[in-house]
A and B are shown apart, each in its own frame.
Chain A
């Protein structure tokens, strides 16, 4: 799942996959702005068939936190 999530983030933000490390956070690179973040979250929801709970969205700020959330939702 780690690889899939990172691949989606890199594709949506149109950046080199090597940029997408566990510790990268929204806002850290120009491409990951607020519009980019919404696109990242909605694409992951569609492609991995998960639905992020509204109350969790605020905390999904790093690549790692998004991967952990997807893992939790697909268990």
Chain B
């Protein structure tokens, strides 16, 4: 049995284990874990972490793969008041090295990850059959303690660590469940990555609701995904708009077969074309099609449901619950009237208290209002609309990419100057993709050589899809790249 009053997430899971111990919590392949089994294994993982000498506040770098042991260890760290640093084990080594350099993890845990100077441990180092499953919470642990540090893309190309408390992560799940309506009767297929705020958030939503989550590697094999929906009687799933483009392209209208079964779909992380929203509404007329607007720093701040918002589908919605507020502010932090564009700012129970590094907090807040960096306005009805983006990030199928990071990588390959911007994906799947402008100089490598070099420096989705040679990169007097000029 888990007793963790500092963690509303663990409290809810413990309550489900007590009230419905044989209910299936997690399905991974043939492995079905009940809520009682889940809490026992969280206890075993916590005892292992304690045996490693970890103390409250220590950081654990955790490889987030689709493994049930990840879930046990993630929750065990919460139980002991440790801080999870959740990473994708497939991340470029440079990113992992940077995250290590700023988080100083006391332990690196999980399969497929190892870091110099830290003690790596694989999940099989834990005795999952141990009889002892009780681990006590360290004295002084509170809901305001940092539970997770999630890394998000910074505009400068350096990832930013976002500190989320136990209260934050639980509040986001409660806000989301309240809007979507996920409950204990639901069975959700999770094909989103667990290393991202959206996928990890779905996991927390399902476990807090006492529902069942079925882990699926990804959306690549739609036959597998649809088989899971059918065989596990799935009632909901989450996806990014690029996943819907993929599902639509490869499976046509097949998803309509599950129209009477699917109670909800959560969509987020990038803009979705209105025609795609309309098609989903046509194929799934009785399903709650819920799209969130948010960031890792302010998870699921706004929500809209397509059927209910049929006459204003361009809107990104309204605050997710009565514990969340959103306003539009000008550059000085003053509220602007409805209908006037400004920066969308949010506050509420799920908003981060700070970034990991103090420098990242500069300019991040107006008082307690978190600045999203997105431009937009609110209508008199209270609906929010996005009109632009202040931060110069490229959204590749939901993955936020810094143009600066790409430019730095290209320059390392022998290009004197360059600039990257977002352009529409020519294949119509990913929404945006990077385009690189290269300054023509004698002896510069050719584009094929640059592409080959970038495969060693950047993840595949960050490598530009379009390329253009130019005589010079347009810059302001202060040397800042004029990306708008390049877009023209």
Name A residues whose Cβ lies closer than 8 Å to a Cβ of B.
Answer: 14, 25-28, 30-38, 42, 54-55, 57-59, 61
Contact between chains at A30 and B90 (CB < 8 Å): yes
User: Count of B residues near A, CB < 8 Å?
Assistant: 25
Contacts of A61 in B (CB 8 A): 221-224
Supposing A28-B217, A42-B427, A61-B221 touch, asked if A35 and B254 sit within 8 A by C-beta, the answer is: no
Of B224, B249, B397, B460, the residue contacting A27 (CB under 8 A) is: B224
Neighbouring B residues of A34 by C-beta, 8 Å: 218-220, 242-243, 246
Name B217's contact: one of A27, A38, A42, A59 (CB within 8 Å). A27
Q: How far is the CA of A32 from the CA of B219 in the complex (A)?
A: 10
Known: A28-B221, A37-B220, A57-B250. 15 other contacts (CB 8 A): A25-B224, A27-B216, A27-B217, A27-B219, A27-B224, A33-B219, A34-B219, A35-B429, A37-B246, A38-B429, A54-B252, A55-B252, A61-B221, A61-B223, A61-B224
Q: Are B220 and A36 in contact (CB under 8 A)?
A: yes
| Residue B251 lies at the interface, judged by CB distance under 8 Å to chain A | yes
User: Please, which residues of chain B bring their CB within 8 A of the CB of A57?
Assistant: 249-251
Jot down 12 A-B pairs with beta carbons below 8 A, ordered by A: A14-B460, A26-B220, A27-B217, A27-B220, A31-B460, A33-B220, A34-B220, A34-B242, A34-B246, A35-B397, A35-B429, A58-B222
Q: Contacts A34-B218, A35-B460; is A59 near B429 (CB within 8 Å)?
A: no
Instruction: A60 to B430: give the CA distance in the assembly, Å.
Output: 21
On chain B, the residues within 8 Å of A54 by CB distance are 252
CA distance A61 to B90 in the complex (A): 22
Name the residue among B250, B252, B254 with the largest chain A CB count within 10 angstroms. Answer: B250
Complex alpha-carbon distance, A38 and B429, angstroms: 9
Q: Could you say which residues of chain B place their CB within 8 Å of the CB of A35?
A: 242, 397, 429-430, 460-461
In the complex, which of the residues A27, A32, A54, A57 has the most CB atoms of chain B within 10 Å of its own CB atom?
Answer: A27
Contact at A26–B429, with CB atoms within 8 Å? no
Report the minimal beta-carbon distance from B118 to chain A, rounded to whole angstroms.
22
